[in-house]
Amino acid sequence: PCNLTGWWENDLGSKMQVFNVDNDGTFSGEYHTAVSSTKKPIQPSPLIGSQHLDEDGQCTFGFTVNWKKFSDSTAVFVGECFKGDDGKEVLHTSWLLREKVDSEPDDWKATR
């Protein structure tokens, strides 16, 4: 089965460390983003998630990152773990980021 525990890096140079996946699929870790629109210095941010543990090893998962140390935004990621022909595990994800806005009329521009 796919093991999310450890370090992962994406195409933009952001890194994620998953500390441990419990028997029920719950995990926590830190996300080290390489990209941000804030002017504050980027810092590692906590993540918490859940992995669907399939017997065939190709599992889906999701996690939330709270950028509270340097931004007023939260991101959610969903994805699936694949094993390539070389046996290497690869994660494919999609994400949504919600930024804080000052008023309800600005809601339209708050989610990317």
> Mean pLDDT score of the chain, rounded to an integer?
90
Lowest-pLDDT range of 6-10, 67-71, 90-94 = 67-71
| Residue 48, pLDDT score | 97
**Domains, in order of start, for the chain:** 6-99 (2.40.128.30)
H helix intervals, the chain: none
**Distance in angstroms between the alpha carbons of the first and the last residue of the chain:** 32
- Environment class of 13 (CB within 10 Å of its CB; exposed 0-12, middle 13-18, buried 19+): exposed
Q: How confident is the model at residue 57 (pLDDT cuts 50, 70, 90)?
A: low
Residue-level pLDDT at 70? 85
The pLDDT value recorded for residue 39 is: 80
What would the mean pLDDT of 101-110 be, rounded to a whole number? Answer: 94
In the three-class reduction of DSSP (H, G, I as helix; E, B as strand; rest coil), residue 105 is classed as helix
Which range has the worst mean pLDDT, 16-20, 62-66, 83-87? 83-87
